[in-house]
A and B are shown apart, each in its own frame.
Chain A
Amino acid sequence: MTDYIIQTDALNFQYSKYKKVLENISINVPKGSIYGFLGPNGAGKSTTMRLLTGIIPEQGNAIKLFNEPLQEQLPLVFSKIGSLVESPALYLHLSGIDNLRYIAKLRNIPEDKIHETLALVDLTRDGKRKAKQYSLGMKQRLAIAMALLSEPELLLLDEPVNGLDPNGIIDIRKLLIKLNQEKGVTIFVSSHLLSEIEKMCTHVGIISKGKLRFEGTMQELSKAAGLCKIQVTVDDARQWQEKLSTAYENVTVIAQNQITLEIGNKDQIPDFIKNLIAQNASLYEIKILDGLEEWFMTITDEKNTYEK
């Protein structure tokens, strides 16, 4: 059996009686994974994040961290967790070093760890400056440093690369991968952009409108998204629809000379074209309608949302 660091069992949350913010969210984050938690703004990512950290009290008992109910472990479980929730929480009147010193005091960590961690996020030169003078990216890095300070077993990061420039994003990504691979830190990271995290995640959960739309490994994600939709412009479309319907799914005529259909994946497209040419089709154009990104958009898009 897989060892799960975070598990929620049909997590529900509502601010008022009628509006459910989260509905039946069941997340399973295996130990040692980098779990990307994806969803558009307002999907319930932050609420989930806050529930996982106990910042807002759970309305039930669905969350388990380290295989124990969260509520029974608060607040001492945080000695194993580093977290960064929403906008970076830093004391702007304090220097970078003092911010870390504050965390070090609360977590009972020796002070020499502070410089090590500052170096890790490349803030050594700016450690003595006040946090209010930092750029947005520096603040974000300092906040990450504060989360990393205690070398936690689990990192909960809410939009960690928000506001960073491309280099910054790459640096953080490298850092997280390094932590994951060298120290075995399990990382739960949320984002509203798939492209931001798809390169580092091992597992993905996708949430939209308070419901979990997908959960699985990256491979499973590509497979699920692999179903490729193409648009074919060809003379006498209606005739071709009949022919193609036998071999492909969802063949529809959308104009006099245009049909759309789904094929297994992109790799099948060349063979599909050869096949059509072989049957003397007057082929004008073939266009791929969906990719991973488009698929992500599709399942999180309001109009396409379907009830399970």
Chain B
Amino acid sequence: MKNKFSSFITALKAEHIKKRGTGFYWTSAIIGLISPLLFCIVSIVTNNDEIKPELPFNFYLKFIENSLLPFADFFFPLLIIITVSRITQLDHKNGGWQLMETQPIYKFSIYFSKFCTVLIANFISILAFIIVSMLGAWVLSFIITVPKVAIMEFPLSGIIHIIARLFVASLLITALQFVISVLISSFIWSIIIGFFGLLLTAFLAPFDLVPLWYPYDILSKIAAHPKGSDLGHWFTFTDYVGVTLSIILLYIGFNWYRHKEFKAAFFGKMNRTLSLISVVVVFGGFTYWLLRPNQMPDYDKTVFCGKIDSEEPIHTIYIVDNTVQDTIAIIPVKNNAFHYVFDKKIITDHYSFIVDQKYNGNVFFGAKDSIYLDGKIYGPKSDFNLKGTRLAENQMDTNAKMSWSMISYYMQENINIDKPQIITETLYKDWKEEMTASNKFRTIDNYIPKNDYTERNQKLITTRYLNMWNEFLKKRAALYPNEKTPEGTAIKEIKSKLSLTDESLLSSSEYFDYVKSQLIANNHEDIDENTKSILAISKMKQGSFKDKMLYWQMNKSIEESSNSADRNQFVATYINQFSSKNYQRKINHINRLAESLGKGKEAPLFEATSLEGKPVTLTDLKGKFVLIDVWATWCGPCKQQSPYFEKFALKYKKENICFVALSTDENIQKWYIAAKSKSKSVIQWHINTADTFSKAYNLVTIPRFILIDPNGNFVNANLPFPHEATFEILLRKALQLPEEE
């Protein structure tokens, strides 16, 4: 053993004599520094001193993370392919393999001393990348304006972590290229295979077809997840897969090289075959075990805990259900940490968590789950990470991309409405694809959502597609009233996947829409949909399913109703159908809110600040009509509407009306700068008590346009946007001006 070890060291030293004058390690260093150098230059050139709101971050680590993508995805694998080819070519070209094999050196030493040299080259490249990144960040800190939130500490442990991950993740591609390059003496093949492998990732990635073990992709996962494991492991499972597969590859590659022929190497003698089988079984088994997705085990209690990094003290976290907006839990936060154990059973569903009324997010959990919320709040910026037993579920929710499908495009653009065959086929195909895709999500640590989530998610996808089918039926019925639209086996199959009585899905309005559509499908009376629906729901069996259906429908009807008398009549008729008092209370509250915003009701007062910094309220404007535009500097649609609003302010300057732009900005300075530059014909206010204002005015989205009469009563609490023609018509009507020609 000692003999073999010293033989290995000798071979390694000799290998370093051999590579003299080839500039091997220099190439590695140079390729390592390209990416950070480019990033540094681009940062300097494109620097515009704009400081965006950000969470605190380490300036150096951020620099590394930013230049990681080109390095890990391209330059580094490229370097490996080239290095391996060059180092093996030295011997292929010069008859070196024969020369080495006629020296008193074990073949193991020959093979692995070369491999080791490549690994050293890899390490040098990584090191160059890190060092130049550090230097680049340091230089940058003198040239650009460093954000105040940036931490300038030298991130030693972070750097060591990234170096270790890059090194381990590069093993598999190095091993693969090495095995190929030793076996095939022509350099062109190893280069072609390497480049093809690298390019294939780019081609397959958009289709989500890259296998997790794909050697040319393991490195790029580091760029995609620079922070690495969610669970605090040093390496991710793909890194380990890289190691186990490298061992198998190197075993096969070395023995193939040692015995020259594949057959002789593995099937020539019994013990060679057996040892191949055992290596493949052991490490292949390991690989299989690593690649098999995990699911988090259940917890014995239901816990919601976590910590929130924030400059200001955090007091309370509310957990609110998404259907009725019921508060499920009020969790006190002490020293920015909290730990709450639910004593009642929690239905597994999506909930909202609201941090001190300001920040909120979605969380999926249920009984026997322990959720850990890792929150960061800095000024207007916040970031919430959910870990614990529903890590994968919540991550999948956060990462959910807007799924684009052909069928939704057809529906949107009214294409192929005349061809039910095409619609059915496309719908079925898109549905199938999305169902398959919904099974693919894994966290960086190879955790997949639990089955209840996946099933629920697939039911919601099915709901969405069936709703599209219903939309199609509606459009078709309108356009071709005399033609039949056969449902076909495909649609029947989709429908069979979705129960009509799945209460757990009723937190989604889409499922409500679907159930409703099925309830009223055979009602061909000439009445509006809401009426059909409420009639159908009221015939349902008493119980929580009916309650939820009824709640959705009443909520919708109240929202859409324009007339106070009708609304009150409606509520009075149906409110007793609820079996739960809770829903009655909720509906009454919604009705009251709608009522309070109704025409002629007194507009709730609120406190605001004027541009001059004086406190102001609505009473200051009594005796005049007041038209309020609720906006914020960060809101894009508000900016689109504001010129129209200003145009009307100028046009009706002489009338008895004030145009008020009421900002809900968190950052009063930003508002001040933006408001200063606006037209003087609009009064600029900033809201003091945003919370109470949005509750009283049922503010859901902005921009919002509110018209109040000279007595301080609502004319209209929800005007259309000013760019719409109805806006001015309504305005003139209120001001009792004649219609314009």
Contact = CB atoms under 8 A, between A and B. Distances in A.
A94 B18 contact: yes
A213 B475 CA distance: 96
Interface in B90-126: 90, 93-96, 98-107
A244 B78 CA distance: 83
Contact of A94 (B20, B105, B107, B259): B20
B96 A106 contact: no
Interface stretch (B8-16, B436-444, B644-652): B8-16
B94 A89 contact: yes
A66 interface: no
A165 B96 CA distance: 26
Contacts of B99: 89-90, 146
B102 A102 contact: no
B120 to A, nearest CB: 17
Contacts of B94: 89-92
B401 to A, nearest CB: 52
A107 interface: yes
A209 B105 CA distance: 33
B310 interface: no
B103 A107 contact: yes
A55 B98 contact: yes
Contacts of A83: 102
Nearest to A101: B17
Contacts, number: 77
B474 interface: no
A86 interface: yes
Task: Pick from B90, B93, B103, B107 the residue with the most CB of A within 10 Å.
Answer: B103
A98 B20 contact: yes
Nearest to A156: B102
Interface string B247-283: 0000000000001100010000000000000000000
A55 B102 contact: yes
B104 A89 contact: no
Contacts of B18: 91, 94, 102
Given A88-B95, A89-B94, A89-B98, A106 B20 contact: no
Interface string A18-33: 0000000000000000
Given A89-B95, A94-B21, A106 B102 contact: no
Interface in A60-99: 75-79, 81, 83, 85-94, 98
A53 interface: yes
A106 B20 CA distance: 16
A103 B101 CA distance: 12
A56 interface: yes
A280 B280 CA distance: 89
B17 A105 contact: yes
B274 to A, nearest CB: 19
B101 A106 contact: no
A88 B96 CA distance: 10
B22 interface: yes
Nearest to B108: A75
Task: Pick from B96, B102, B260 the residue with the most CB of A within 10 Å.
Answer: B102
Given A54-B101, A57-B260, A102-B14, A93 B95 contact: no
Nearest to A146: B99
A54 B104 CA distance: 12
Contacts of B17: 94, 98, 101-102, 105
B740 to A, nearest CB: 89
Q: Which bracket fits the contact residues of B?
A: 20 to 34
A146 B94 CA distance: 14
A290 to B, nearest CB: 38
Nearest to A93: B21
A133 interface: no
Contact of A79 (B11, B98, B104, B260): B104
A106 B17 CA distance: 10
Given A86-B98, A90-B94, A98-B20, A56 B260 contact: yes
Contacts of A75: 101, 103-107
Chain B interface main SS type: helix
A108 interface: yes
Interface string B466-491: 00000000000000000000000000
B187 to A, nearest CB: 15
Interface string A29-63: 00000000000000000000000011111000000
A105 B13 CA distance: 7
A98 B107 CA distance: 22
Task: Pick from B20, B94, B95 the residue with the most CB of A within 10 Å.
Answer: B94
Q: Which bracket fits the contact residues of A?
A: 20 to 34
A146 B99 CA distance: 10
A81 B13 contact: no
A91 B90 CA distance: 7
A106 B21 contact: no
Contact of A78 (B21, B95, B102): B102
Interface string B514-532: 0000000000000000000
Given A86-B95, A93-B21, A57 B259 contact: yes
A78 B103 CA distance: 5
A106 B98 contact: no
B17 to A, nearest CB: 5
Nearest to B100: A106
Contacts of B260: 56-57
Nearest to A54: B101
Contacts of A102: 14, 17-18
B572 to A, nearest CB: 96
A89 B96 contact: yes
A151 to B, nearest CB: 14
Contacts of A105: 10, 13-14, 17
B110 to A, nearest CB: 9
Contacts of A54: 101-102
A77 B105 CA distance: 10
Interface string B282-293: 000000000000
A81 B20 contact: no
Nearest to B101: A55
B104 A107 contact: yes
Nearest to A143: B99
B102 A103 contact: no
A22 to B, nearest CB: 17
B21 A53 contact: no
Given A56-B260, A91-B90, A105-B13, A85 B21 contact: no
Contacts of B14: 102, 105-106
Contacts of A87: 95
A253 B106 CA distance: 64
Interface of B: 10-11, 13-14, 17-18, 20-22, 90, 93-96, 98-107, 259-260, 264
Nearest 10 Cβ contacts at the A-B interface: A89-B95, A89-B99, A79-B104, A105-B14, A78-B104, A83-B102, A106-B103, A102-B17, A106-B14, A76-B104
29 contacts: A56-B260, A57-B259, A75-B103, A76-B104, A77-B104, A78-B102, A78-B105, A81-B102, A83-B102, A85-B98, A86-B95, A88-B95, A89-B95, A89-B96, A89-B98, A91-B18, A91-B94, A91-B96, A93-B20, A93-B22, A94-B17, A102-B14, A102-B17, A103-B103, A105-B14, A106-B10, A106-B11, A106-B14, A108-B10
Given A57-B264, A78-B105, 20 more contacts: A53-B98, A54-B101, A75-B101, A75-B104, A77-B104, A78-B104, A79-B104, A83-B102, A85-B98, A86-B95, A89-B94, A89-B99, A90-B99, A91-B96, A92-B94, A105-B10, A105-B14, A106-B11, A106-B100, A107-B104
